[in-house]
Amino acid sequence: MAKLAFLGLGVMGYPMAGHLKKAGHEVTVYNRSGAKAQKWAAEFGGASAPTPREAAKGAEFVMACVGNDDDLRSVCLGADGAFAGMESGAVFVDHTTVSAKVTRELYAAADEKQISFVDAPISGGQAGAENGKLSIMCGGDQGAYDRAEPVMAAYARICRRIGESGAGQMTKMCNQIAIAGLVQGLSEALHFAEKSGLDGRAVVEVISQGAAGSWQMSNRYETMIDDHFEHGFAVDWMRKDLGICLDTADENGASLPVTALVDQFYKDVQKMGGGRWDTSSLFKRLRALG
């Protein structure tokens, strides 16, 4: 069992840190708004610290799941950042979805202090985090990954190292690109069914068993039909992710026309007040068009 720190107790981080504690590790958490850290400590019986540096002190592994590139920099760097508290030989595991650029920048900063940095973004949603069944795609040094993998097993359904630093984040971009077009397609199918007077539930019961089936279709069709979007993966986060994908495509020359279009549809959802709605709210946008 290891001494661990977990930074960022949001929708994903809160239950993930809980799985680590339940697996028997010694866990100290940090959250920007302290009340959540205290609630976590009371619920799971771990410790909480007021800064990333103090949480990370003496930890063998420091896991993080915050918001975006700047949020990650702010919990890693500076006088109160985790790197200042970590000892040589410790491993930082980042579960945030961020750019490969910031990942490589922090990998280099960590390396200067003889700290390992593994990028380990996640997929599987709130339910995956709560049930401990996330897909984790990793980049970084093989040795550091091999040490971190048994720790991540507490909340992983599958965990794989894809390549060097940044490869995990590049894989997460593939994941988001695949989801963007898929959710719009599902929304259009349900919209078409509604316009045709078909029972959307009956339609999905059949087509989800055929070639059109997907995680999004099976897990989201009921809430979409019921106009329920106050859960899941926030549109604001999806726009952050698609922005990263589109910027990276500018660099590597990939052509992402559907991803660019769906990003604009999510911008419409934000204008409807849906920044924190689940990404399946693309269907609500179509309904609003009439």
Ligand X SMILES: NC(=O)c1ccc[n+]([C@@H]2O[C@H](COP(=O)([O-])OP(=O)(O)OC[C@H]3O[C@@H](n4cnc5c(N)ncnc54)[C@H](OP(=O)(O)O)[C@@H]3O)[C@@H](O)[C@H]2O)c1
Residues that bind ligand X (CB under 6 A): 8-13, 31-33, 36, 65-67, 71, 74-75, 96-97, 122-123, 125-126, 232-233, 237, 241
Structure tokens at 121: 């973004």
- Residue 231's identity, in one-letter code, is H
Instruction: Tell me how far, at minimum, the Cβ of 3 lies from ligand X, in Å.
Output: 21
Whichever of 65 and 193 has its CB closer to ligand X, that residue is 65
Minimum separation from the CB atom of position 231 to ligand X (A): 9
- Shorter beta-carbon distance to ligand X: residue 64 or 193: 64
- Residue 281 — φ and ψ, nearest 5°? -70, 0
- Nearest distance in Å: CB 194, ligand X: 26
Nearer to ligand X, 192 or 215 (CB): 215
Nearer to ligand X by C-beta: 55 or 151? Answer: 55
Report the catalytic residues. 172
Q: Which residues pair with 3 in a beta bridge?
A: 26
d(CA 2, CA 34) in angstroms, rounded, equals: 24
Q: Smallest distance from the beta carbon of 135 to ligand X, in angstroms?
A: 9
